[in-house]
Amino acid sequence: MNKFEQELKNNNFVCTFCTHCNKLVWPISDFCNQCFGMAIWKKVNRTAKLIEFSRKDGEIFCISEFEDGLRIMGNIINAPNLQIGQSLNLVKCDYENGHAVFILEPIY
């Protein structure tokens, strides 16, 4: 298990970051995909924007966008209604059965 996965298991959302380019390096990588400098780890701000969503068996899954345009797919809970572009909060992350798990909640 790598650091990204270990941190997810501790409910921490971290990503690699290039101090030279001052941007997140996503997907995670040892090197910046712009300058190839060594990347370090950085906590990601847990506020996101809703890009798109759909449902399966009543469960809402979505694309959410975090800082620096970092997009991930996650599960939205406690959402009686949703608007594209609205703010979401990452309430829990985990790593289960080889998959990253992101659970988000709307900020009303």
Binding site for another protein (CB under 8 A): 4, 26-28, 51-56, 61, 63, 71-75, 84, 96, 98-102
Considering the complex, what minimum distance in angstroms separates the CB of residue 27 from another protein?
Answer: 6
Specify the residue, 74 or 106, whose C-beta has the smaller distance to another protein. 74
- What letter would DSSP give residue 26? S
Specify the residue, 8 or 18, whose C-beta has the smaller distance to another protein. 8
Q: Compute the distance between CA of residue 100 and CA of residue 97 in angstroms, rounded to an integer.
A: 9
Q: How many CB atoms lie within 10 A of CB 86?
A: 14
Do 14 and 3 meet the contact criterion of CB atoms below 8 Å apart?
Answer: yes
Considering the complex, what minimum distance in angstroms separates the CB of residue 56 from another protein?
Answer: 4
- Give me 108's structure tokens: 């009303």
Specify the residue, 18 or 70, whose C-beta has the smaller distance to another protein. 70
